[in-house]
Amino acid sequence: MNNNARQTMRNIAFEKHPLVRVGYISCGGRAGGHVSDVLAIDGTQITALCDLSEAHLERAKTKITEKGQPEPTCYHGPEAWREMLDQPDIDLVYISTPWDLHVPQAIAAMEAGKHCAVEVPVAFTLDECWQLIYTSEKTRKHCIILENCCYGYEEMLLKSMAHGGLLGTLTHAECAYIHDLRSLLLTDSSEGLWRRFPHVTRNGNLYPTHGLGPIAQSLKIGSDDQFDFLVSVSSREASLTEYRDANMPNDSPKRAENYQCGDMNVSIIKTKLGRSIVLQHDVVTPRPYDRICLLAGTKGTFRDYPPRLFLDGRDSHDWLSADDYAELKTQWEDPLWTNMGELAKNRGGHGGMDFLMNYQLITAMQNGLAPEMDVYDATLWSAPGPLSEESVKNGSAPIKFPDFLGGESKA
């Protein structure tokens, strides 16, 4: 598509769908939660399922029929998703497949006239990012990123504090995906079947969106500010190799794998308004889970894991006391959590954030609202993957972000 011919999909409302008809490409670990969440929302029907595994299909189908819905049409096999996309009674396609399938499946879904909601990261080359944007703009179908961390209690609280001015002029953020996945990466089922291979071929931030998505929303990236450039450094690789050697039998074919991805990747993003964002990725070091979620401004600083706040004018080296923090929390809590937090927490799914994300998406379609996360968020938050690889390959050189919004943001 010629750049001049572009028509934005930002703030474009869905057509109203009193009944949202949903199809799933993948019924694996992640998709199981999405199926349960959607079934719990009135005004939805799951009409189609597709997976390689008959057992996964059967598990999802049982959930649907036990809920009293008609049996969905099931598609089975590596290319069966193409056939599923020809089924007319699907408004929204959830895509929760291994990473390399996200983009072809999302493009085909939009071209078949369906909105799509895609797991993270949505894309891992810049070319793929542009393909998604052009397809969404051309077909007028939304490509939503399923970034559940944007609906976490603390992330939404932080956004409310940041937008409400409690932290003053925002200057700096730090975020991460730090999660010891060594055992999962080396299993012979679920994500072990595919998630280790990018560690053989890529060196950079393989999973940027959980940390970056919520911070981008707090900083209003894509409207008031914009990512400008990124520099990236990867540490040496050691943990996955040592773990593999200590735990896999001598004749395991995994012993022939040569991992390229550094244990820790640190990227620094500069925004057009001059803010700095430190973004980390480490899925192999033995250490506690951490997304950091730090935001600093001229009047205070928030940091998660555990959540804490510092406000200017307090004569102390310490964060706010638990009581003071609790009081501010009630004052700044996001209304979505105030109104639906208990229900969401009882449903589970990463502490309730998964249900809130799915609820906001489905009800936006029912009520004819714009989605809260669109193809520009999907590509802006996924882009540090390829940009960090490029920077690492070139001696940590600064790499510019593409202008995915075509000059639409203020910065």
Ligand X SMILES: NC(=O)c1ccc[n+]([C@@H]2O[C@H](COP(=O)([O-])OP(=O)(O)OC[C@H]3O[C@@H](n4cnc5c(N)ncnc54)[C@H](O)[C@@H]3O)[C@@H](O)[C@H]2O)c1
Q: How many residues bind ligand X (CB under 6 A)?
A: 25
Q: Which of 11, 53, 62, 298 binds ligand X (CB under 6 A)?
A: 53
* Closest distance of CB 290 from ligand X, Å: 15
Residues 148-167 contacting ligand X, CB under 6 A:
148
> CB of 198: closest distance to ligand X in angstroms?
11
Indicate which single residue of 9, 21, 26, 175 sits in contact with ligand X (rule: CB under 6 A).
Answer: 26
By the rule CB under 6 A, 188 interacts with ligand X: no
Q: Which of 46, 50, 85, 219 binds ligand X (CB under 6 A)?
A: 50
Q: Which is nearer to ligand X, 50 or 107 (CB)?
A: 50
- With residue 301 as reference, give the H or E element that holds it: strand 300-303
Q: Which residue has the tokens 């060594």?
A: 182
The answer to whether the CB of 232 falls within 8 A of the CB of 387 is yes
Task: Report the nearest approach of ligand X to the CB of residue 114 (Å).
Answer: 16
Would you mind telling me the total number of residues written for the chain in this entry? 411
Among 91, 119, 225, 374, binds ligand X (CB under 6 A): 119
Among positions 311-350, residues that touch ligand X (CB under 6 A) are 350
By beta-carbon distance, which residue lies closest to ligand X? 28
Structure tokens at 84: 């599923």
> Binding ligand X by CB under 6 A: which of 20, 23, 28, 355?
28
In terms of Cβ atoms closer than 10 Å to its own Cβ (0-12, 13-18, 19+), residue 349 is buried
Residue 97 within binding range of ligand X, rule CB under 6 A: yes
CA end-to-end span of the chain: 24
List the one residue from 9, 17, 23, 30 that touches ligand X (CB under 6 A): 30
Q: Retrieve residue 364's tokens.
A: 């936006």
Burial tier of 277 (Cβ tally within 10 Å: 0-12, 13-18, 19+): buried
Q: Does 56 bind ligand X (CB under 6 A)?
A: yes
Q: Is 257 among the residues that bind ligand X (CB under 6 A)?
A: no
Closest to 349 in 3D by CA, of 28, 20, 30, 10: 30
Q: By C-beta, is 75 or 376 nearer to ligand X?
A: 75
Q: Kindly state the smallest distance separating residue 411's Cβ from ligand X, in Å.
A: 28
Count CB-CB contacts under 10 A for residue 252: 14
Q: For the chain, state the CA radius of gyration.
A: 21
190 binds ligand X (CB under 6 A): yes
Looking at the DSSP bridge assignments, the partners of residue 145 are 118
Nearer to ligand X, 161 or 206 (CB): 206
Least Cβ distance, residue 160 to ligand X (angstroms) = 22
Cβ neighbours around 66 below 10 Å, total: 9
Measured distance CA(88)–CA(377) in Å, rounded: 28
Report d(CA 305, CA 211) in Å as an integer: 12
Q: Point out which residues bind ligand X (CB under 6 A).
A: 25-31, 50-53, 56, 78, 81, 96-99, 101, 119-120, 148, 190-191, 350
